């Protein structure tokens, strides 16, 4: 491990460690051969008392990756299907990174940076950082600095035959998919969220906290309203209760006749017809993936 250390700002440390499970953070500090002298109610205080704010490059990356792992459930992903047996023949992470580097160098001219790690029980996590167009930042109307923006694509090659990809740039996402197809020598297919998946979600993932209905004129027969959103701790039962108590003709069945469900959210998951999905925990993930298989 490199002995050169970098100093981290308290704000950065606080944001990262607060996103990490407490026991995972303690295990990481023990892996670094730190002794946990005294427990603290604050994860930030625990980290600062134990490790301070100077970390080696390797420690910095491990801390960041642990934060990333704990934040998987908070990100919106697009799901793809692939032959997971292909990844078994790739070898260790260093070999995988070298192969990715070789393929990327053939496909792009601008700079890029790769981070890889194996998330236990989940799969291989890959972060693609692509150099974007330079931006000019004005400071106090006097000084200008040119900063190169980063287009970051996050990718989890799951052990279960699914790939989760998150990123803003569709061009870069498509590039990453092409790179992964070359790497794995297999076809990668996007998983579409059809209406029957929404219906399965509504039936099995209650209580439902958010429902969005799209109301195209061709289907609803009226104009002026494009979508209707209902939010609350239990919107399906809440709408029925509203109808029965207030004698208002507004319930789940009536709302479903106005258009097609476009977004549905429960406590631990969210899906929409654009293909975006959030999965709060592994049990929820298994249930939602079951809907997608059927």
Find out whether 265 and 254 touch, Cβ atoms under 8 Å: no
Give the residue extent of every domain in the chain.
5-70, 77-190, 195-293
pTM value?
0.87
pLDDT at 141: 64
SS3 state at 111: coil
**Separation CA 118–CA 116 (nearest Å):** 7
Residue 217 confidence (pLDDT)? 78
Query: What CATH code is assigned to 77-190?
Result: 3.30.160
* Percent helix, strand and coil across the chain, each to the nearest 5: 40, 30, 30
Give the pLDDT of residue 294.
Answer: 63
What integer pLDDT is reported at residue 9 of this predicted model? 95
* pLDDT given for residue 248 in this prediction: 67
Low-confidence ranges of the chain (pLDDT < 70): 1-2, 137, 139-144, 146, 219-220, 247-248, 294
């Amino acid at each position: 491990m490199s002995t050169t250390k970098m100093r981290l700002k308290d704000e950065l440390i606080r944001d990262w460690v607060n996103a990490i499970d407490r026991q995972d953070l303690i295990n990481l500090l023990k892996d670094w051969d730190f002794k946990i002298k005294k427990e603290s109610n604050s994860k930030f205080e625990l980290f600062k008392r134990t490790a301070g704010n100077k970390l080696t490059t390797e420690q910095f990356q491990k801390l960041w990756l642990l934060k990333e792992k704990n934040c998987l459930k908070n990100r919106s992903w697009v799901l793809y299907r692939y032959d997971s047996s292909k990844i078994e023949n790739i070898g260790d992470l260093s070999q995988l990174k070298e192969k990715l580097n070789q393929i990327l160098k053939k496909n792009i001219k601008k700079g890029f940076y790769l981070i890889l790690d194996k998330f236990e029980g989940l799969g291989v996590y890959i972060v693609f950082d692509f150099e974007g167009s330079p931006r000019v930042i004005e400071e106090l109307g006097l000084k200008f600095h040119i900063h190169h923006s980063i287009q970051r694509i996050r990718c989890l090659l799951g052990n279960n035959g699914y790939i989760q990809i998150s990123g803003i740039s569709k061009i870069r996402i498509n590039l990453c998919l092409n790179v992964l197809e070359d790497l794995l020598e297999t076809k990668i297919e996007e998983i579409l969220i059809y209406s029957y998946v929404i219906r399965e979600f509504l039936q099995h993932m209650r209580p439902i906290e958010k429902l969005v209905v799209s109301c195209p004129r061709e289907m609803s027969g009226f104009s002026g309203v494009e979508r209707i959103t209902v939010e609350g701790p239990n919107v399906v039962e809440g709408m029925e209760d509203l109808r029965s108590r207030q004698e208002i003709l507004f319930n789940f069945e009536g709302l479903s006749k106005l258009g097609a469900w476009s977004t549905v959210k429960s406590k631990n998951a969210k899906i929409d017809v654009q293909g975006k999905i959030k999965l709060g925990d592994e049990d929820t993930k298994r249930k939602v993936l079951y809907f997608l298989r059927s």
